Amino acid sequence: MTQLAETLARALLRQPKPVLSNYDIFRELWGIYRSGSAKYLRGVTPNRDVFRRTRSLLRSEGIIRQDSDYSSHWRIVDRPDAPAEDVVCSVDPFCHIAHLSALQRYGLSNRRPESLFLVEPTPDLRRQLVREQMEHDYGDSLGDPEADIEPAKAVTHPGTVRGRPVAIDTTKFAGDQIAIKGSLSRIATVGQTFLDTLDSPDRCGGMSHVLDIWTEHGPTYCEEIIERMERAEKPIWKVRAGFILEEYIGIRDDRIAGWVRFAQRGSSRVLDPGKSFAPKFSEKWMLSLNV
């Protein structure tokens, strides 16, 4: 191999991901040029022709190979394979574990979903996040007409990853998420997970199961729930949370009481967004109790 290919191979083995996109590999190559850590480099930055030739060398030498689930991505051959959630979060920096999968990981539900439940941004939000990522990685070089940079691209997830079904929902709100210690995965925070149960109870075991979760664990995580609900993007989420915490569970807090100002009458004001309006309702929260 060339000096550049050998240096790139070492860089790929040092980074933590088992599966890489073309953008990931080009970014490592860019770092090599900027640091001058390989001999005989021509120019101060790589171009896509150099990238493709170097990537081809790594493939022919058995350093990387096409991934079995993500055909546009590259598996590092000497790196042990990873579970589905780590692979998905490696190839897509903008998705995270959510809904029933998050509930199970936090010990909030005893159900073990067959599918891996994930949330990813809508196309418009993803385009914004991709632009921000490239601006962070390349700065002013993005505006340089001489710079030939491999672009970041949207990821299309297959129906199954590493033998596990994947169930993906999209959102125009980024949502609160954190890295899972000791892994490559990201997960919705506890507060975000409780909020998600109100927006998509069908992906959380159904509204009856959601009410059981809130009743059992809501008092324990009350501060996390209130903090996230105070920033809730949709008023109806505050109304649903207010009803459950105050009227259904019996928790009293001035912050919760303040959410009643978002209550209003209307056929769309239902506790379970996946079911039709029911005549039983909460007078205070103006909410149809359609469970």
What's the pLDDT tens digit per position in 134-152?
A: 999 999 999 898 899 999 9
- How far CA 207 is from CA of 210, 240, 275, 290, in Å, comes to 5, 11, 10, 9
The total number of residues written for the chain in this structure: 291
Residue 277 has pLDDT above 90, yes or no: no
Q: How far is residue 101's CA from residue 115's CA, in Å, rounded to a whole number?
A: 8
pLDDT (average), residues 199-218: 97
pLDDT band for 291, please (50, 70, 90 cuts): confident
In this prediction, residue 192 carries a pLDDT of 98
pLDDT band for 267, please (50, 70, 90 cuts): low
What is the DSSP secondary structure assignment for residue 199, as one 8-state letter? H
pLDDT digits (tens, 9 = 90+) for 33-62: 999 988 888 888 999 999 999 999 999 999
CB distance 165 to 117 below 8 Å: no
Residue 183 has pLDDT above 80, yes or no: yes
pLDDT band for 101, please (50, 70, 90 cuts): very high
Query: What burial class does residue 59 get, using C-beta atoms within 10 Å of its C-beta: 0-12 exposed, 13-18 middle, 19+ buried?
Result: middle
Backbone angles phi, psi at 56, to 5 degrees: -60, -40
In this prediction, residue 276 carries a pLDDT of 87
Average pLDDT, the chain: 95
Lowest-confidence pick of 161-165, 193-197, 237-241, 266-270: 266-270
In this prediction, residue 265 carries a pLDDT of 84
Query: Both ends of the chain: CA-CA distance in Å?
Result: 64
Residue 199 has pLDDT above 70, yes or no: yes
In this prediction, residue 278 carries a pLDDT of 87
Q: How far is residue 193's CA from residue 221's CA, in Å, rounded to a whole number?
A: 11
In this prediction, residue 23 carries a pLDDT of 97
- How far CA 220 is from CA of 92, 191, 215, in Å, comes to 32, 11, 10
pLDDT digits (tens, 9 = 90+) for 239-253: 999 999 999 999 999
In this prediction, residue 195 carries a pLDDT of 98
Percent of residues, the chain, with pLDDT higher than 90: 90
pLDDT (average), residues 100-107: 98
CB atoms within 10 A of CB 174: 15
